[in-house]
Amino acid sequence: MSSKLAALNDWVASVAKLTQPDAIHWCDGSDAENAKLTELMLSTGDLVKLNEQTHPNCYLHRSSPSDVARVEHLTFVCTSKQEDAGPNNHWMAPAEAHAKIDALYAGCMRGRTMYVVPYCMGPIDSPLARCGVEITDSPYVVANMRIMTRMGAAAQARIEREGSFVKGLHSIGQLDPERRFIMHFPEELTIKSFGSGYGGNALLGKKCHALRIASYQARTEGWLAEHMLIVGIENPKGETHYVAAAFPSACGKTNLAMLIPPEGYRRDGWKVWTVGDDICWMRPGADGRMYAINPEAGYFGVAPGTSAKTNPNALAMLYKDAIFTNVGVTADNQPWWEGLPEGTPAKDWQGRPYDKAVSPAAHPNSRFTVSAKNCPSYTAKAEDPQGVPLSAIVFGGRRESLVPLVFEARDWTHGVLVGASMASETTAAATGAVGVVRRDSMAMKPFAGYNFADYFAHWLSFDKPGAQLPKIFHVNWFRKNDQGKFMWPGFGDNLRVLEWMLKRVTGQAGAIETPVGNLPKPSDLNTDGLGLDAATLEQLLTIDRAGWKAEMESIGEYLDSYGERTPHVLKAERAKIAAQLA
């Protein structure tokens, strides 16, 4: 099989010449093809079949212990000018990067099959969707791409119709951490990944295409590619408002995307619909509103901590048709991870007899891959070619002090500053130290495919006459009291905060104006049945002026770190807030 598109055939031929595979397989995404690949991986040990009675059609994959997370220090953005990549990215000159990685690719697929994987990010017939082709020597990658994207014949047909696609080349190589690179060439719409089989490094549709390359595409084409969930909130009147939200990892992003309303809200008829849990592509529609699609078709979620208590909808997805990576297993071959109340692990994520003193049962960044349609809160709107209209955009981070439970940006410019300056404490999803506070603008620090200063300017550019932009908010579910206990219950109760936001959108709630933003009056938050005392609520909704003065200084230094290109209007906005605080 080959393609009707000469450019695609030529590229596949040139990759085959470089990598020298034993065979080439063009993927059509069919059930028969998937069954064959699964059989192959079971025979090689790449997959282990899980308990068919409790978890039908579920499999476990164990990756190399040195290949368990994204590797930000080995991830490069290769633009012809270094300043276009910006200080937020590691840069390498394109010619040097191609030469370095192509030397690793030389002959790397000998003895292996080369898979050609055409895929579409977004509903197959959506004008907002964009296509790509990943060439890989990993059947595990093919199986995951089938779940995570619209992969196969329909995507190939669209690529042949449009004549353009993002090129992604991936090889697991020898899984050697010393011979590992993830290179992005935004100007060429090309990705090259070598030496890793881990999802974020190997499923090139995910962070590589849907964020790093797409953010560059979006800037040139007038849209936004963002690291955001998309959730629909339906009120008792049957009106649904869609919200996009950006959080760094381990800040409850998937939990918010699949939120289950508290009991009182459920009784009153509130419903929550999941459009996406990780990536949002949005663009202004003809009516001036911002419309969003989830470019992904599945979830690549973190397993540890996922339970009936924290995220019942996520857990409910995982009993059939799922691939687990680096979790533990029980004696009867059920998947197990820390946070599950029942079951006892017999083997850890490396397949060794489980010993708590040696290793957790599941790697802290162990994952599940599952179709979005498995989610109990899935909405067919996720397949709407036009996308869903956004009423609000929410930024958030994990801050133990200073940042209130929720505040609203005064306008779009202030909202862009709020997103640009958001900060959080680091987690296990990226290699490096855990628990350090770092600024992570729009949760895009590891994912923006170009200079952050230009990215902020691109965000600001949407505020033009006729635009009906979403309101922007900031949340912090993670405030702690003097005893180190969380002050806000979080999880489903976060709907109480979203309710106030949507009342602000529709003009049904007031706010207290502060230099930092607009805060709810304590009486405007529904706290029925929470057992939250007035003093705690007041603490969650107060502005510590001295603390915020220091924060504004720090934000000023952060903006300055992007140099001359940083939009002056953003600096002026920061200065205005600093002056009001003083």
Q: Does residue 254 have a known ligand-binding role?
A: yes
- 8 A C-beta contact, residue 81 and residue 214: no
User: Containing H/E element for 275?
Assistant: strand 271-276
Whether 131 is catalytic is no
DSSP 373-408: GGSTTB-GGGG-TT-EEEEEEEEE---SSSS-SEEE
Q: Does residue 514 have a known ligand-binding role?
A: no
- 8 A C-beta contact, residue 366 and residue 326: yes
Q: Could you give the angle at the alpha carbon of 9 between the alpha carbons of 7 and 15, nearest 5°?
A: 100
Q: Does residue 420 have a known ligand-binding role?
A: no
Q: Does residue 255 have a known ligand-binding role?
A: yes
Tokens of 3: 């393609």
Q: Does residue 208 have a known ligand-binding role?
A: no
* Size of the chain in residues: 582
- Which alpha helices (H) appear in 371-512, and where do they start and end? 412-420, 452-460, 495-505
Within 10 angstroms of residue 42's Cβ, the number of other Cβ atoms is: 13
Q: Does residue 196 have a known ligand-binding role?
A: no
Q: Does residue 253 have a known ligand-binding role?
A: yes
- Which alpha helices (H) appear in 240-289, and where do they start and end? 253-257, 263-268
What does each C-alpha distance from 227 to 137, 211, 543 come to in angstroms? Answer: 28, 7, 28
What does each C-alpha distance from 554 to 22, 439, 480 come to in angstroms? Answer: 55, 10, 22
Distance CA 198, CA 42 (A): 18
Residue 114's beta-bridge partner residues?
A: 24
SS (H, E, C) 300-354: EEECCCCCCCCCHHHHHHCCCCCEEECCEEECCCCEECCCCCCCCEEECCCCCEC
- Which alpha helices (H) appear in 136-234, and where do they start and end? 139-148, 153-162, 199-202, 214-221
Distance CA 538, CA 528 (A): 16
Q: How far is CA 506 from the centre of its chain?
A: 28
Q: Does residue 333 have a known ligand-binding role?
A: no
Cα radius of gyration rounded to whole Å, the chain: 23
Q: Which of 27, 251, 280, 375 is catalytic?
A: 251
DSSP tally for the chain: helices H, then strands E = 17, 30
Q: Does residue 285 have a known ligand-binding role?
A: no
CA dihedral 278, 279, 284, 287 (to 10 degrees): -40
Distance CA 521, CA 351 (A): 53
Q: Does residue 492 have a known ligand-binding role?
A: yes
Distance CA 313, CA 310 (A): 9
Q: Does residue 251 have a known ligand-binding role?
A: yes
What does each C-alpha distance from 172 to 146, 202, 393 come to in angstroms? Answer: 18, 8, 37
Q: Does residue 278 have a known ligand-binding role?
A: yes
Q: Does residue 207 have a known ligand-binding role?
A: yes
Q: Does residue 198 have a known ligand-binding role?
A: yes
Distance CA 128, CA 121 (A): 9
178-211: b or e for each residue (b if 16 or more CB lie within 10 Å)?
ebbbbbbbbeebbbbbbbbbbbbbbbbbbbbbbb
Q: Which residues are annotated as a binding site for Mn(2+)?
A: 207, 227, 278
Q: What are the residue numbers of the active site?
A: 251
Q: Which residues are annotated as a binding site for substrate?
A: 70, 198-200, 249, 365-367
Q: Which residues are annotated as a binding site?
A: 70, 198-200, 207, 227, 249-255, 278, 365-367, 398, 491-494
Q: Which residues are annotated as a binding site for GTP?
A: 250-255, 367, 398, 491-494
